[in-house]
Structures are given as structure tokens and as C-alpha cells.
Amino acid sequence: MSLNVSNLTVHHGAICAISQVSIAVPTGTLAAMIGSNGAGKTTLLRTLSGLKTPTNGSIMWKGEKIIGLKPEALVRRGISHVSEGKSVIPELTVRENLELGAIWRRNAKESKESIDQVASIFPRLGERIQQRADTLSGGERQMLAIGRAIMAKPQLLLLDEPSLGLAPLVVEQIFQTIRDLTTSMNLTVLLVEQNAMGALKIADLGIVLNLGKIVAINHAQALIDDPAVRAAYLGY
């Protein structure tokens, strides 16, 4: 188990956003977390990447307790978080956005190699490398956000709703890329999604979160087949 969350409780002021959540994700696993709005999915990701401090519980990453560490320290331990809503910096060029991902390594040569690698994964980004990010389409921005995370050479990738606001064809393409990356780079991925079906289809593990609590955790295919999950989240 590379990521081990146990009894995690997080508050927003007086409101309890996540209560007693325990999850274990083995190395190389793509875990999809689904649930309705306000279920606490984003809060969980923000806690894992150090943006938010939990009230209680523990998070172990590769055998180390990581609660209390800042995001900048966690990036150095291989945790990359792509936050919600195409997290790119529109004022910077595509190249600069990518360079940003590798900036903490302070190694120009490695950074260049990583850019080439990202450009081979997302050829569209390679073509637009000198453009400002605000000239990109929604799908391209999402690719850029994921690309920036890849630049950091992560081992754990936290993705917050990469499909948000994208056309169905683009969503399919992004999901396929996430699946491929997980396998080819031996990543551990926690994918938070509103598009439950699409996410579960590519995932190994499925987690259902409701009102801050885990209501189901199982093989992704088993969740797709579960009538209760189907009715509540898959809509048929």
C-alpha cells in the first residue's frame, strides 16, 4: 500500500467536510472517487496535497506520515495535484506552464527532457509550446495541467475533475491518456470525477463518497455492476 489514509476527518470552520475516511491505494493503481456535489471529494484531495490541514486521522505515503507537510514539500516527495478547473496559469506560455512543474528540481536539462516527454504524450501541446495558455481550448488546457503535473515526475497523481466542462470526445481522450499514463509510468492515481461512468470504466478501484463518508469501496467493475451504485450515480 503506497497511500494509506485512515480515520481522516477534515473541517471547514465548524462544518465537517470529511468524517472518518479510510482508504488504501496500492502502487500502480488508478482509483476513481465518485460522489455528488459537496460529498467532500475535493476537500480530500486538497488535504492529501497539503493545501488543507485535517482535524484528525493520519495519512501515510510510502511509509511516511505526511500530515502537516506543505504542498511544496509534498511535491518533492512525489505527490502532484491537478486542482479543479483546468489549473494552468493563463498569463504564462505553454512552455512556462510546463517548466513550472519541474521548477523545484532546478535542473534545466531534466526539465527540457520532461518537456519533450510531455510533448510526445500530448502532441497538441508541443505544437503550441510558445503560445500563451489563454489561447488554448478547454481540452488543451486540461492536457497542459496534467502535463505540468507530469513534469514533476510524480509517483502519486491527484486529479480533480479533469472532465469538467469538456466535450464528450475530448473527455474520452483525456481519460484514455490517464489510463495509459498510470500503466506506462507506474503511477498511483486518485481521480475525482462527476462523470462516474467514464471514471469507473478506466479505474482499477472505485470509491463512493457521500456527505463526507465512504459508502462503498470496491473493484471498479464491481461498482459498475452494483445496482445501488448504478441507481444513485450512474443513472440507470
Partner 1 sequence: MDLLNTFLIGITAGTIYALMAISMVLVWRSTRVVNFAQAGMALLSTYFGYEAVTRLESFWIALPVAMIGGALVAALVEMILIRLLVKHSTSGPIAGVAPIIATLGLLGVIRSISAMIWGGQDLRIVGPVSNDGFTINATTLVFSPLKLLILVTVLVLMLILSVIFQKTNIGLALRASAYAPEIARLSGIKVDWVRTLGWALAGATGAVAGMFQTVNGNGTLSPDSIEFSLLLVSGFIAAVIGGLDSLIGAVIGGLVLGLMISFVLMYVSSGLFFIAPFVILLTILFIRPQGVFGAKAARRA
Considering the complex, state which of residue 26 and residue 85 has its C-beta at the smaller distance from partner 1: 85
| Per CB under 8 A, 87 contacts partner 1 | yes
Residue 77 phi/psi, 5-degree rounding, is -100, 10
Residues 6+ apart with CB under 8 A from 70: 50
Q: Which of 16, 89, 215, 232 binds partner 1 (CB under 8 A)?
A: 89
The size of the interface with partner 1 (CB under 8 A), counted in residues, is 25
The grid cell for 42 is 475535493
Q: Which is nearer to partner 1, 71 or 126 (CB)?
A: 71
* Length of the chain as a residue count: 236
Whole-number Å distance between alpha carbons of 161 and 193: 5
Q: Is 96 in the site for partner 1 (CB under 8 A)?
A: yes
| Contacting partner 1 within 29-68 (CB under 8 A) | 49, 51
Stretch of residues binding partner 1 (CB under 8 A), selected from 31-39, 85-93, 123-131, 192-200: 85-93
Residue 126 lies near partner 1 (rule: CB under 8 A): no
Distances (CA, A) of 67 to 18, 39, 73, 134: 15, 21, 11, 35
Return d(Cα 156, Cα 186) in angstroms, integer: 10
- What is the spatial distance between Cα 160 and Cα 33, in angstroms, rounded to a whole number? 10
Does 84 participate in binding partner 1 (rule CB under 8 A)?
Answer: no
Residue nearer to partner 1 on the CB measure, 41 or 81: 81
160 pairs with which residues across the strands?
192
CA 177 to chain centre: 13
Pick 16 or 103: Cβ nearer partner 1: 103
Q: From the list 2, 4, 83, 218, which residue makes contact with partner 1 (rule: CB under 8 A)?
A: 83
* Alpha carbon of residue 111 to chain centroid: 22
Phi-psi map region of 187: left, alpha, beta (phi>0 left; psi -120 to 50 alpha)? beta
CB of 128 or CB of 148, closer to partner 1: 148
Task: Please state, in angstroms and rounded to a whole number, the distance separating the CA atoms of residues 176 and 114.
Answer: 20
Among 81, 128, 177, 220, binds partner 1 (CB under 8 A): 81
> Is residue 91 at the binding interface for partner 1, with CB under 8 A as the rule?
yes
Kindly tell me which residue out of 148, 181, 187, 216 binds partner 1, with binding defined by CB under 8 A: 148
Residues that bind partner 1 (CB under 8 A): 49, 51, 70-72, 75-76, 80-81, 83, 87-92, 96, 99-101, 103-104, 106, 148, 152
